[in-house]
Amino acid sequence: MTPLPIVQHPDERLRRKATDLPLQRLADHEFQKFLDRMIETMFAAEGVGLAANQVGEPWNLAVVSTKDGPLVLINPKIIRRSLRKETSEEGCLSVPGVWGEVSRSILVKVTAYDRQEHKIDINAEGLFARIIQHEIDHLNGILIIDKAKNVREAGREKNNDL
């Protein structure tokens, strides 16, 4: 499989709010192949997360890299977030070469479906929580350049774009 092209800012598809995926689509073999391609695209780009609109699809879903392997989040929703926040530098595969400090909740509780249509509850913290918040921002049409401080442009010397 070849990686999918990644949509780059200022493409307006990055500004659209995602549409919830009808879960019956997950029974479609072609759709499962698309999810595999999203994962492959994330790894090929050396990213740690990728939202569907970053590959030009309107669906409310994202893939994230975890220490236990890639995780597909279908129709994810943050149902609780800690008031305590932490600021850290982030990059984005759709805004290459730009870095900025983004404040995020340290802990988030998320509900979603996995690719087998099982409902999942996730208690994420630290970098995992940051990645999920970054991807859910994408699914709401929000980019790091909307909220980052101390934005700098640089070469792609780091490999943890989201």
Q: For the CB of residue 147, give the shortest distance to Zn ion in the complex, in Å.
A: 12
Q: Which is nearer to Zn ion, 26 or 48 (CB)?
A: 48
- Choose the catalytic residue: 46, 89, 125, 135: 135
Active site residue 135: yes
136 binds Zn ion, rule: CB under 5 A = no
Which position among 21, 92, 124, 139 is part of the footprint of Zn ion (CB under 5 A)? 92
102 binds Zn ion, rule: CB under 5 A = no
- Please give the Cα distance from 135 to 48 (Å, whole number): 10
Residue 110 and residue 76 in contact, taking contact as beta carbons nearer than 8 Å = yes
Length of the chain: 162
Question: In Å, how far from its chain's centre is CA 132?
Answer: 6
Which DSSP category does 31 fall into? H
Residue 118 is assigned to a ligand binding site: no
59 contacts: CB under 8 Å, gap ≥ 6? 18, 19, 20, 21, 52
Q: If you search the block for the tokens 């609109």, which residue do you land on?
A: 53
55 binds Zn ion, rule: CB under 5 A = no
Which range, of 11-19, 78-86, 87-95, 145-153, touches Zn ion by CB under 5 A? 87-95
74 binds Zn ion, rule: CB under 5 A = no
21 binds Zn ion, rule: CB under 5 A = no
Q: For the CB of residue 62, give the shortest distance to Zn ion in the complex, in Å.
A: 10
- Please give the Cα distance from 138 to 22 (Å, whole number): 19
